């Protein structure tokens, strides 16, 4: 194998679960598995991650927030060297546009207003770091301002926003879009829409699922040429780390095949592709150099969240097959 570089561990800002546990539906037995999940994700090359809570009944979301708050506090009180850190919570919903809900359950979507937002975040605002919403649901921007005043990153997705609406939302404080191209209007020559406005802005980061299914390799190449504000996300679901097959998902089921998750009607709902596999995808698709692909999982998410650097603990190589591979460095070799 040919050595490429060493790096910090990866950061995953959008991950919905792992090892059979959905972060938006934590109960006692599942919550007890959170340390195991943190160890698993560390072995997957992650330094940290943001459990992502997708739309669900409010009681269920708040129960999950309770258990995650406990886990975050426990990690701070008793840090473990081989656990990925829970960096905070990414709340993806329930303030989404029904027409772009994707796999989010329609009955549990909510209108976006300050009172409902405050009720959702009440008691947990200090651990919530990203909120994904549809900005056109609150043209006044009151909710965006509230979130920014509490140092929460506001990300746009599951939205029908036009370019003009997105430009207004950016001026109000949006600095990110969730899973670029997915659950938003397509680029159009008469209205570049939410995505085009984000790309043209100097302040908006684009989260990208580079599994080759959510976004084609050619479109990823186009995005990479248009903006340097891209970071990789897994959008992994609870079956991450498990075999392909059928699994329960809220009151529905999902089918995992070759790392892609779909509802029974074929709706794309996520992946079970490990984040660092997407680094190799970018290189194999000839999007960028190996070092540039690595940075999209390592450096870019830290920049998007203004996070500090950590010690290098991954070694990257090009295998004889041409694939980009990595391994965890022993602690004594990390620097």
- Coil vs helix vs strand at 148: helix
- Of 54, 17, 11, 53, nearest to 37 (Cα)? 17
258 marked among binding-site residues: no
334 marked among binding-site residues: no
103 marked among binding-site residues: yes
State yes or no: is 113 an active-site residue: no
The answer to whether the beta carbons of residues 23 and 64 sit under 8 Å apart is yes
Tokens 């008793």 — which residue?
Answer: 78
CA 141/CA 147 separation, integer angstroms: 10
306 marked among binding-site residues: no
48 marked among binding-site residues: no
182 marked among binding-site residues: yes
**CA dist list (Å): 52 to 87, 166, 263:** 11, 23, 19
CA 171/CA 169 separation, integer angstroms: 5
CA 157/CA 133 separation, integer angstroms: 6
Instruction: Give the Cβ contact number of residue 253 at 10 Å.
Output: 11
269 marked among binding-site residues: yes
Which residues have C-beta within 8 Å of that of residue 147, sequence separation ≥ 6? 117, 131, 153, 154, 173
108 marked among binding-site residues: no
- Let me know if 42 is exposed, middle or buried by CB neighbors in 10 A (0-12, 13-18, 19+): buried
- Of 239, 323, 325, nearest to 45 (Cα)? 325
**CA dist list (Å): 207 to 110, 228, 301:** 23, 12, 9
Catalytic option among 12, 47, 235, 277: 235
What's the helix, strand, coil split of the chain in %, to 5?
Answer: 35, 25, 40
Query: Can you say which residues are annotated as belonging to the binding site?
Result: 92, 103, 158, 179, 182-183, 190, 214, 268-270
Query: Can you say which residues are annotated as belonging to the binding site for Zn(2+)?
Result: 92, 158, 179
Catalytic residues: 235
């Amino acid at each position: 194998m040919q050595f490429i570089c060493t790096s910090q561990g990866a950061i995953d800002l959008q991950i919905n679960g792992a090892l059979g546990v959905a972060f938006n539906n934590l109960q006692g037995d599942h919550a007890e598995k959170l340390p195991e999940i943190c160890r698993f994700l560390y072995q997957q090359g992650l330094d940290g991650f943001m459990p992502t809570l997708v739309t669900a009944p409010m009681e269920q979301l708040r129960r999950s927030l309770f258990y995650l708050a406990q886990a975050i506090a426990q990690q701070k009180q008793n840090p473990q060297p081989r656990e990925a850190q829970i960096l905070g919570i990414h709340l993806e919903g329930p303030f989404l546009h029904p027409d772009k809900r994707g796999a989010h359950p329609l009955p549990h979507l909510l209108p976006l207003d300050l009172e409902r937002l405050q009720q959702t975040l009440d008691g947990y605002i200090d651990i919530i770091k990203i909120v994904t919403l549809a900005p056109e649901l609150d043209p006044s921007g009151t909710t965006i301002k509230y979130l920014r005043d509490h140092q929460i990153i506001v990300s746009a997705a599951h939205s029908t926003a036009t370019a003009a609406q997105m430009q207004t939302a950016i001026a109000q404080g949006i600095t990110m879009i969730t899973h670029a191209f997915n659950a938003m209007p397509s680029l159009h020559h008469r209205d570049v829409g939410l995505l085009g406005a984000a790309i043209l802005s100097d302040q908006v980061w684009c989260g990208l699922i580079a599994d080759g299914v959510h976004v084609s390799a050619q479109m990823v190449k186009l995005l990479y040429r248009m903006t340097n504000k891209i970071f990789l996300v897994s959008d992994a679901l609870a079956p991450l780390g498990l075999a392909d097959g059928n699994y329960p998902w809220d009151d529905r089921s999902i089918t995992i095949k070759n790392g892609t998750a779909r509802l029974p009607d074929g709706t794309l709902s996520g992946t079970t592709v490990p984040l660092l596999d997407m680094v190799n995808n970018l290189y194999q698709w000839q999007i960028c150099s190996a070092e540039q692909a690595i940075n999209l999982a390592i450096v870019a998410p830290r920049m998007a969240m203004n996070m500090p650097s950590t010690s290098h603990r991954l070694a990257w190589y090009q295998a004889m097959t041409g694939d980009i591979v990595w391994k965890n460095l022993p602690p004594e070799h990390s620097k």
